[in-house]
Amino acid sequence: MQINISQEGEKIKKEFEEAPAEKKQIIDSELRQDIVTGDWVVIATGRAKRPEDFSRAEYSTQKLADHLDSDGCLFCDPKESGQEKDVLIYSKSDGDWTLKVFPNKYPAFSRGKVPRSLEEGPYFAMTGTGYHEVIVSRDHFKHIPDLEIIEVAEIIDAFQDRYLELMKKKSVNYITIFHNFGKEAGASIAHPHSQLIAIPVISPYIKQELDGAELYYKSLRKCVYCEMAEYEGMAKKRIVFENETFIAFCPFASRSAFEIWIMPKKHNSYFERITDEEKIKLAEVLKNSLGAIKKTINNTPYNFYIHTSPCDGKDYRRYHWHIEILPHTSTWAGFELETGIEISMIQPEEAARALRENLNNN
């Protein structure tokens, strides 16, 4: 693992050294690598705070305030609030917009073509070059479970559109798409929105999944995710919702209470290759899954994110893209932080049963 990471670092360093001077931009974000595990950490200096800022009460109450009404909402009128120019906009026939995508005003990664090596002693780091965008729905009060299926499909379509555009960028090797609902889940603005971050490195979690899928195939000549989807569809114990194209279920080894995975039944390694028909089917499953969470556990905060193959040009045919939904039902304490082993306080079979009971009540 360390050998591969070192090679990755050398490649990035070489690309920077060979780049024209005008492309060596000053970046306000850093990617630092753990010298022991090889994991990456983002130091978002563009969002930098002084040490004393973290002790101020207003840091947690004002900066992370959840504005439940639309007064003063930054996303109800992005142009008026000083957001950057839209990179994608969907409009109705009367000209009013229904969805907008624009660069994050306070990005975790800074736009640029070539990452720059930042070495210190035995450590390796590089500038946090990438793209950070926000996908915003028009209605301030309607979250994904409250939307029509076609409106959810529009969000998925925007995910695909921006993915296809950004995967062409030289500095991009992986694109993550995620959605935070609720302050405890990291949503600093209540207005419904998702985010997309395109980065030059592959996350350790995705690397672990890629390696696991490859190892399973080499051992049994089968896709591990197809095996999961097929068994869950047959056993029925952990299914939350399904249609002919996608299945939503509580994983056998759920990391948190009421965790849900959404997975295409047909093997597909790449989210960006989703068809228009599949977007409608996915929208139906996503809406119902989030609606069941909303009803079952009292609108608790959650995150969902798309896990898909990297866009670095390599072959990932053994992988199987999927969506993971993680409700915030507990807080990590010493055991979880020290071991990385999460504690879920309900059997996934019981969680799935409760979620199924609330499918028609959202």
Positions annotated as catalytic residues are 193
Is residue 119 exposed (0-12), middle (13-18) or buried (19+ Cβ within 10 Å)? exposed
Instruction: Locate 166 and state its tokens.
Output: 């950004």
Distance CA 302, CA 328 (A): 5
Distance CA 21, CA 119 (A): 19
* Closest listed residue to residue 189, CA positions, set 136, 152, 146, 153: 136
Instruction: Locate 225 and state its tokens.
Output: 């995710």
Q: How many residues does the chain have?
A: 362
Instruction: Locate 316 and state its tokens.
Output: 């990932």
Spatial contact of 132 and 109, defined as CB atoms under 8 Å apart: yes
- Listed in sequence order, the residues at least 6 apart from 10 whose beta carbon sits closer than 8 Å to its beta carbon are none
Helix residue ranges, H only, 129-223: 149-166, 204-220
> What is the number of other CB atoms lying within 10 angstroms of the CB of residue 4?
10
Task: Name residue 230's amino acid.
Answer: E
Spatial contact of 242 and 236, defined as CB atoms under 8 Å apart: no
DSSP structure string for 194-211 = EEEEEESS--HHHHHHHH
Spatial contact of 64 and 301, defined as CB atoms under 8 Å apart: no
